[in-house]
Amino acid sequence: MTESTCRVCGAATRQFLDLGRQPLSDAFVTPDRVDDEFFYRLAVGVCLGCTMVQLMEEVPREKMFHDSYPYLSRGSSVMRAHFEGVAQSLLTDELTGDDPFVVELGCNDGVMLRTVADAGVRHLGVEPSGSVADIAAEAGVRVRKAFFEEATAQEILEAEGPADVIYAANTLCHIPYLESIMRGVLTLLTDSGVFVFEDPYLGDIVGKTSFDQIYDEHFYLFSATSVDQMARHHGLELVDVERLSVHGGEVRYTLARPGARTRTDAVTSLLADEERVGLGSPVTLGAFATRVAKVGDDLVTLLRELAEQGKRVVGYGATAKSATVTNFCGIGPDLVEFISDTTPAKQGRLAPGSHIPVRTADQFAEPYPDYALLFAWNHADEIMANETAFRDAGGRWILYVPDVRVV
């Protein structure tokens, strides 16, 4: 199927990229369960009406977000600092009235709300994955184990009153059912409140050919243009945008009720930039798909050459993104010996689909491999600064964003 209907506006979508049969990106398996893996077809289309880029097939949410969901937001010091900054700016700019209230969708381990809790400000995290919600609760964050949707918003409103800020990081793009979310936002938000969310930016994904940002959990790849349309469609207004460097390039979008806030010049400017480069056009996205195929070919060619030369290659960071790369390219333990990762729930398991073993960070140095394939390229500065001993020992990094190269 290469035609479908847009989940936001109902117009026709056109497929521009097929990344093949893929496993759940965060389903790290034990060796005895490799025959039980769930697969789906990972293809991406663009709406010819509102330009929203979206997956052609939806994975049921309970398969992705549950009591064994392994991803921890606190795994990166850069991200910890980022979320502390987010909390501080919300406290300073928005949560200033009498007894303010902030709700976070997908609060994960509480990395952002901890700072809000420390400031004594009323807050609630809504987090369906019990594994990480429990960690947030232990950190002193108030958390409700649930999927946010219209009904959840109504319950929160009745129990706690309206929210001055609704915030979501790397979560809204995970949610196909935006209609229910946006109705929930309209239900829960105060008249002058803001809905702030930050997610990987289509402009960066296309600009850097970072096709590994596409996987089951990333149902939408947002742009200012598509979010503007989506907001209007649901009776809200896009009033501010800010480009962020985290996670390989994101945008923070601020939505408000129509007329409640003045739209900033940053919105006008980003919309104009996207129009100029034709960001949401099938032509631009088709050219992106051609570059994706080349990156995949170049990476496999390099890994095969290194294997033939008897070099040891180890993966760094068992990211959800790495599932797309390994399964699209057919990279298995024959080409990448293991993947080093700091997340306890991933260690000792096999990476989804590829079945490359995941080991602890200590094992990366025992002894160092010849090459490290940087799957966590979005944390490159932090990782390379921590791993200078690997370089000093003669090790080299393999990068594949924006193109394949050894550094």
Binding site residues, ligand TMP, CB under 6 A: 75-76, 317-320, 341-343, 346, 361, 376, 378-379, 382-383, 386
Q: Which of residues 298-317 bind ligand SAM (CB under 6 A)?
A: none
Residue nearest to ligand SAM (CB): 106
Question: Looking at 44-52, 120-128, 136-144, 358-366, which segment touches ligand SAM (CB under 6 A)?
Answer: 120-128
C-alpha to C-alpha distance for 341 and 358, rounded to whole angstroms: 7
The least distance separating ligand TMP from the CB of residue 321, rounded to whole angstroms, comes to: 6
Among 141, 175, 231, 383, binds ligand SAM (CB under 6 A): 175
Using rule CB under 6 A, residue 71 touches ligand SAM: yes
Q: Which of residues 130-169 bind ligand SAM (CB under 6 A)?
A: 132, 147-148, 169
The least distance separating ligand SAM from the CB of residue 8, rounded to whole angstroms, comes to: 16
C-alpha to C-alpha distance for 116 and 32, rounded to whole angstroms: 42
Binding mask 38-67 vs ligand SAM (x if CB under 6 A, - otherwise)? ---------------------------x--
Residue 112 contacts residue 139 (beta carbons within 8 Å): no
Phi, psi of 33 (to 5 degrees): -115, 15
Picked from Zn ion, ligand SAM, ligand TMP, none, the partner binding residue 59 (CB below 5 to 8 A depending on kind) is none
Q: Which of residues 38-97 bind Zn ion (CB under 5 A)?
A: 47, 49-50, 52
Picked from ligand SAM, ligand TMP, Zn ion, none, the partner binding residue 106 (CB below 5 to 8 A depending on kind) is ligand SAM
Residue 80 contacts residue 111 (beta carbons within 8 Å): yes
C-alpha to C-alpha distance for 395 and 374, rounded to whole angstroms: 12
C-alpha to C-alpha distance for 174 and 255, rounded to whole angstroms: 18
Residue 260 contacts residue 236 (beta carbons within 8 Å): no
Helix (H) / strand (E) containing 191: strand 189-200
Strand partners, 4: 13
Q: Which of residues 80-109 bind ligand SAM (CB under 6 A)?
A: 105-106, 108
Helix (H) / strand (E) containing 231: helix 224-233
The least distance separating ligand SAM from the CB of residue 217, rounded to whole angstroms, comes to: 6
Helices (H) and strands (E) in the chain, counts: 13, 18
